[in-house]
Amino acid sequence: MKKHWSKIALVLGPMIMIASVAWEYARLKPDYNFLIEPWSLRGYDTRQGWAIVAMGVLLVIGGLLTSWEGSIKPAVSAGVTMYLVAAATGVTAYFTIGTERAVTDITLQTVSGLMIAALLAASVSLSLRSMLRDKSVIFKRAMPLFIGLFVVFAVVASTVTGTQLSIQTWALVLIVFLVLAGLSISIRPIDVAANRMMIFTTVAAWGVIILSAGAIRQSLVSAQTAFVQSNGVTGISAQYKDIQTAGGWWLAGLGITVAWVGAIGLWAKRRDIVAARARARKQREAADESAQEIQDAYDEYQKEQAAAQG
């Protein structure tokens, strides 16, 4: 078990996320003495809880695919990476389309615009170097490409600085994850691209869970407002500040943290394996080359001996 702890954590973490839906996600402070109902909401009573379940299911699949020894092959690794892109986009589309969160408004400022330009330039330049470095001297080094692309993207970003942009939330997630996938695949060795992408995905899921706290608390306020109280009164609720996240939300956070630790551990192990294989391959190539040189020298000696005797 110790040998495979990272694989176990990578799958166990999302399963903890799924299990958290049965626990309380939000509850009133005890000061209210439970006079306002409902005084708590479990994960399955909230849209955020089901979103966490969906993320957990897809991360379990991603964890199993990443843990598979065959995922260390470049083609399979790239395939798992694109699965994670599709999974993140699909979950976002399902839980946002038709809601008030379907569209995200973005206002780029100078600093954020430069950061996005740098991220895009890094992703594209590394991808081009990875794919074309053996075909053209232009793509041998990523830094000149990065500088040129950064300037181009920065100029484009400057044209929309201060302007509010509206974009479908699922499309924004798709763009972000495609950039992350590009970075994962382009950084050598590509054999561990899936492991890199799994790390990015768990971090993104962790961010979603953290940011969902406010919406979960508001869900309890809305549920109380719509609920017919024991005295027949409706339209009342506790104050937002008196509602707190409960054990289920913290359990989901623990689950994604466990998955992140597993993803880091498996990436480190796979990186060492790939490096060891690369060293062994170079040593074999050097040994084969040396053996060939010895054979050539021996053949030349045999010819010289034959010529001397003749």
Q: pLDDT (tens digit, 9 = 90+) per residue, 98-112?
A: 888 888 887 777 787
Listed range (42-56, 119-133, 264-278) with the worst mean pLDDT: 119-133
Cβ atoms 287, 49 nearer than 8 A: no
User: Got the DSSP string for the chain?
Assistant: -GGGHHHHHHHHHHHHHHHGGGSEEEEE-GGGTT-SS--EEEGGGSHHHHHHHHHHHHHHHHHHHHHSGGGGSHHHHHHHHHHHHHHHHHHHHHHHTTSTTSEEEEE--HHHHHHHHHHHHHHHHHHHHHHHTTT-GGGS-HHHHHHHHHHHHHHHHHTSTT-EEEEEHHHHHHHHHHHHHHHHHHSSPGGGHHHHHHHHHHHHHHHHHHHHHHHHHHHHHHHHHHS--TTS--S----GGGEEE-HHHHHHHHHHHHHHHHHHHHHHHHHHHHHHHHHHHHHHHHHHHHHHHHHHHHHHHHHHHHHHH-
Is the pLDDT reported for residue 132 higher than 70? no
Residue 187: its pLDDT value, please?
78
Residue 19: its pLDDT value, please?
95
Overall average pLDDT of the 162-171 stretch: 83
Listed range (165-174, 197-206, 280-289) with the worst mean pLDDT: 280-289
Q: Give the contacts of 74 (CB within 8 A, at least 6 positions apart).
A: 190, 191, 193
Cβ atoms 24, 39 nearer than 8 A: no
**Strand pairing report for 164-168 and 103-107:** antiparallel
Listed range (15-24, 49-58, 162-171, 208-217) with the worst mean pLDDT: 162-171
Long-range contacts of range 104-108, CB-CB < 8 Å, 24 or more positions apart?
104/166, 104/167, 104/168, 104/169, 104/172, 105/164, 105/165, 105/166, 106/164, 106/165, 106/166, 106/167, 106/172, 107/162, 107/163, 107/164, 107/165, 108/157, 108/160, 108/161, 108/162, 108/163, 108/165
Cβ atoms 138, 113 nearer than 8 A: no
Of 110, 106, 101, the C-alpha closest to 166 is: 106
Is the pLDDT reported for residue 84 higher than 90? yes
As a whole-number percent, the residues of the chain with pLDDT over 70 amount to 88
Residue 285: its pLDDT value, please?
74
- More confident: 108 or 212: 212
Residue 183: its pLDDT value, please?
82
Overall average pLDDT of the 25-36 stretch: 75
pLDDT digits (tens, 9 = 90+) for 247-256: 999 999 999 9
Is the pLDDT reported for residue 264 higher than 90? yes
Is the pLDDT reported for residue 310 higher than 70? no
Distance, in Å, from the CA atom of 46 to the CA atom of 36, rounded to the nearest integer, reads 18
Average pLDDT, the chain: 83
Listed range (42-46, 58-62, 285-289) with the worst mean pLDDT: 285-289
Is the pLDDT reported for residue 198 higher than 80? yes
**Residue 301 pLDDT level (bands cut at 50, 70, 90):** low
pLDDT digits (tens, 9 = 90+) for 46-80: 999 999 999 999 999 999 999 988 888 888 888 99
Listed range (43-47, 57-61, 141-145) with the worst mean pLDDT: 141-145
Is the pLDDT reported for residue 134 higher than 60? no
CA dihedral 14, 18, 24, 27 (to 10 degrees): 60
Residue 135: its pLDDT value, please?
62
